Structure formats: C-alpha cells, structure tokens
Amino acid sequence: MKQIKQILLLLVLAGVFTLSLTSAIEPKDDSSASAEEKSATESKKTPGHFDAEEMIMGHVLDSYEWHLLTVNGKHISVPLPVILYSKDKGLNIFMSSKFHHGHESYKGFRIAEEGKYTGKIVEVTDDGKEIRPLDLSLTKTAVALIFSVILMLWLFISVANSYKKRKGQAPHGLQNFMEPMIIFIRDEVAESSIGEKYEKYLPYLLTLFFFIFFNNVLGLIPIIPAGANVTGNIAIPIVMALFTFTIVVVSAKKYFWLDIFSPPGVPWWLKFPIPLIPVIEFSSLFIKHIVLVIRLFANIVAGHIVALGFFALIFIFGEMSLLAGYGISVITIAFTVFLTLLELLVAFIQAYVFTLLSALYIGMAIEEEH
Amino acid sequence: MELVTPEAGLLFWMLLSFTIVLIILKKFAWKPILNSLKEREDSIADALQSAEKAKEEMKKLKADNEAVIRQAKAEREKILQEAREIKIKIVDQAKEEASQEANKMIEMARVNIRNEEAKALEQIKTQVAELSVDIAGKILREKLADSKEQKKLVEKYLKDIQLN
C-alpha cells in the first residue's frame, strides 16, 4: 500500500514538473509544432521526422555498430569489428566506423541500402552487382552475447569457488541467489522429466537455462553492454534448439524410433501403404524443435517491441505538441515499469519453458519402455 | 523477413560461445556446485538420520532405566519380604529355644529335687537307724541290766551260731 502511494506521488510530481517545463517553452513551440505537422502530412519520411518503425526495428534487428543516441540528427555509436571473408578479397577485418553509419563504402564493401541484403554488408563486384561475403562480424548481438558469456563464466565459476571454499557450510551471498535456481532445475526440470539418468544431461540443461535467463534479463537493461536483443534474434534460439535436437537424436533409444516409424497401437492401414502416421510423427520431431525456437524468439521480440512502442509514443506525441509528448511520457514510463517487471517474469518463464521442454524431449528419447 | 532470417555470422558466434560456455561451466562450475550440493544434502540427511537414531537410543535407554528401576524395586520388595520372614523365623526359633531351655531347667530342678529328696530320705533313714540303734541299745542296756535276761540272750545267740 505504501509503495503504491509512493509511486502515485512520483507520477504526480513528474506530471507537475513536465507541465511547468512545457508552459515555459510553449509560446515558441506552437509554431514549430504546426510547421512540423504540415511537413509530416506532406512527406512521411523526411529526415528528422520520427519514424517509429525504424526506431523499433533498428533496435530489434542486429547491426554493425552499437547505437547509443542521436543528438541533433548526429548518430553517436560504438563501432564494432567487422570480419569478412570473400573469394576475391580474402579476409578483411576493420571497424564498422569506416562505413560512417552506412553512408560510405570501404575496400569495396558497403552496407546495402536496398534489395534483399538491406542493412547487411555486401561486396560490390566489378560489374556493380552486390554479393554477400562470409560475414563473421562481431555485431551488436554477437558482442552482447560474448559479454553475457563472460559474465556467466565469471559468475558461476566464482559461485563454484565459494562452494569449494565453504564446504559443508550454509550458502552465502551469490550462492544464495543461484542455489534455489540450480536445485529447481535439477529437481523440478531434469529429474522429473528425464528420470534416473538425469545427471548426464544436467550440465547441459543448467547451461541452457542460465544462458537464456541471463540473456533475457540483460536484454531488459537498457545500458551498454546489456540491452541488445540477443534471445530475440532468431539465430540464438536456433543454435540452442539444435543442441537439444542433436542430444535427442544421438541419445535416442530403440523405443523412440519405434514410436516414430511404427507406433504401437495404431491400425496398420495408417502405416501402410501410405505411411501417414510415421510421416506425421517424423515431421513432429522437427516441428517440436522449431516451435521451441519460435516460442522463445517471439516472446522476447514481442516484449522488446511493446516496450519500444511505448517509448515511440512519446516521440510521436511530442511531434504533435511538446506538451502531449511530456504528458504521455508519464504514462509511458509507468507502463514501461510495469512491462519491464512483466518481461522479467517472461525472461524466467521462457528460460524455464525452453529448458523444461528440452528436458522432456530428452526424457522421451531415452525412455526404455512404456 | 529479416527478423526471422538467421545470420550465418551470428549462428557461428552463438555456436562457438554456447559450446565454450557449456564445456567450461560443465567442468569448472556445475561439477563442483552439484557435487557440493549433493554432499551437503547427504550430510544433512545423515545428520537427520543420526538424530533420529539418537532419539531412538534415548527412548531405549529410558525404557532400560525404567526396567532397571522396576527390577530394583521388585528386588527390594523381595529382600524386605525375606527379612520379614527371617525375623519371624528367628523370633520363633528364639521362643522355641527359650521354652526348651526352660523345660530343661525345670527338668534339672526336678531331678535335683528328687536327688535331694533321696539324699534327705537316706539321711533321715541313717539317722532313724542310728536313733533306733541308740534307742535299741539304750533299751537293751536297760533290759540287760537284769542278768537273767542277759543269759537268755547269750544262749539264743549261741543257738543261732550253732545252727550255722
């Protein structure tokens, strides 16, 4: 109750503050706002005009530089290393600042502005065609990924060391934070879904869970080097689902394949001459893992898009009138706080669901008999 | 479309970093953490079990104690009973002995009395005999004062001797 009162008070204060601010600049604002409105109706994509889609997609998609902020139309961003390999030009490593935010080409490479490679680095051949070289650039997502990897390694190795140091004693500090989650994954996910042989797969499941959870949570922190859309980039869940898929296929027992190609209890005419059930079962093996990818990807992307949508509201209203922009910011911030808390829950739930389903698929694969 | 098209570069970096994380964490984090968790759980289970055991032992000890006390009480009762019996026996015996002694003394007294009686009687007899001899002597002397009489008596005696 007290907390709700505090939040309300904060919101009122913010409102008063913004009103006083807007009233101070209002006279100047009127003309410019109307002028802006005119220009907005004339052409939708004039420079300096706020484009919500570009802002949201620019965040959600990967990029070659880490955009921090834009001041008076000038982009301030951290350049990231570009690593390219092509047949003609060989290996090329340089910083993405050489492209000057995609406006210039460098060593025959440039960031495509249109076509199917829009936003990607392309190699311009002699006859003017654009081809895609092997692109191993450390993009924004890759850097955020590496940062999360370093964070995870440091965190868990230090936790492991404190376990070694404080043998037989009660957990302390970080241990207290990690232990319930580790035990939760061990008991509620691994052991209950896989059964007795869970210990073999436990390191993978723990790594999977914390990898997703950390990247999800880091995606919610809007300060470099966190805040990139890592788990919401489809390549990330694809690799993790591939790991699960590989483990399932490699460790699958006879009964698993029998269930797919000749499931017991199914009438023979569903298997022969048209192998309807085997085909369905076989494709479900792939669909299950594809759904695993899409579930995580879509949830995280949706969270980021909605949060950014709220922020875009500020600028859209701000272009109409400064007062409306400040006014809506109060609501936006309240909603974003709520949404961030919700996303924190989603971050945990999605990590849990991905891990649980992986464990279930592994459990089904290694099942001996029914 | 770009949103759902995986980038080869990112796939590569993800594959690399996830593999590294998996291998390093498995060796340096999960193994020690899971091992010490298991150890701790085992030691807690052990401690609980031994506590339960100690409780059980306490119970048994208490039961043992009670049994010992009960036994001791029974023993005491028995000893007291025995003592009581012995006392009665001793008293009875003493009484018996006393009465026997008394009887014996009475008997002895009786015998003594009889002996004394016999002695007294003997004495009386001898005294009576002496007295009678005396008296007889005296009478004889009186009678023999007369010589005729003396003669008669001597003759009589002589006759007797002759007859022998």
Which one of B16, B22, B25, B37 makes the best mutation probe of the A interface by having the most chain A beta carbons within 10 Å?
B25
Domain boundary among A115, A135, A155: A135
> By CB neighbour count within 10 A (0-12 exposed, 13-18 middle, 19+ buried), where does B137 fall?
exposed
Alpha carbon A318 to its chain centroid, in Å, reads 28
Residue A37: inside a domain? no
Q: Which of A63, A120, A157, A213 is the best substitution to test chain B (most B C-beta atoms within 10 A)?
A: A157
Q: Could you tell me how many CB contacts below 8 A there are between chain A and chain B?
A: 126
* Amino acid, res. B13: W
Final residue belonging to a domain, choices A88, A117, A135? A135
Q: Indicate whether A228 and A80 sit together in one domain.
A: no
Whether residues A130 and A88 share a domain: the answer is: yes
Q: What's the CA gap between B74 and A183, in Å, rounded?
A: 58
- Name the domain boundary from A102, A135, A168: A135
Residue A153 located in a structural domain: yes
Does residue A227 sit within a domain?
yes
Residues A216 and A361 in one domain: yes
Confirm if A322 and A59 have CB atoms less than 8 A apart.
no
Q: Do residues A55 and A308 touch, judged by C-beta distance below 8 A?
A: yes
Residues of A (251-290) whose Cβ lies below 8 Å from B: none
Structure tokens at A342: 């919700």
H or E element at residue B159? helix B147-163
Assess whether A125 and A147 both reside in one domain: no
Same domain, A78 and A150: no
In a domain, A343, yes or no: yes
A216 shares a domain with A86: no
Do A220 and A283 share a domain, yes or no? Answer: yes
Q: Are residues A117 and A150 in the same domain?
A: no
Range of the domain at A305: 140-365
Are residues A208 and A331 both part of a single domain?
A: yes
Whether ipTM exceeds 0.85: no
| B28 lies within 8 A of chain A by CB | yes
Evaluate if pTM is beyond 0.80.
Answer: no
Q: Is residue A187 part of a domain?
A: yes
Closest CA to A244 of A232, A252, A234: A252
Residue A23 lies in a domain: no
Dist. CA B9–CA A136, nearest whole Å: 4
Contacts of A233 in chain B (CB under 8 A): 7, 10
Work out the widest C-alpha separation in chain A, in whole angstroms. Answer: 82
* CA-based nearest residue in chain B for residue A212: B18
Distances (CA, A) of B1 to A30, A57, B5, B143: 40, 11, 6, 197
A153/B25 CB distance under 8 A: yes
Burial class (CB in 10 A: 0-12, 13-18, 19+), A6: exposed
Amino acid at B74: A
Q: Is residue A78 part of a domain?
A: yes
Identify whether A48 is part of a domain: no
Contact A153, B25 (CB under 8 A): yes
Number of folded domains that form chain A: 2
A80 and A176 share a domain?
A: no
Cβ-contact A193, A360 below 8 angstroms = yes
Same domain (yes/no): A128, A264: no
Please list the pLDDT of chain A residue by residue as tens digits (370 residues). Answer: 555 556 555 555 454 444 433 333 333 333 343 444 434 333 344 556 778 888 888 888 888 888 888 777 788 888 889 898 888 888 888 888 888 877 788 888 888 887 778 888 888 887 878 888 888 989 999 999 999 999 999 999 999 998 888 877 778 888 888 999 999 999 999 999 998 889 999 999 999 999 999 999 999 988 888 888 899 999 999 999 999 999 999 999 888 888 888 888 888 888 778 888 889 999 999 999 999 999 999 999 999 999 888 888 888 888 888 888 888 888 888 988 999 899 999 999 999 999 999 999 999 999 877 5
* A291 & A320 share domain: yes
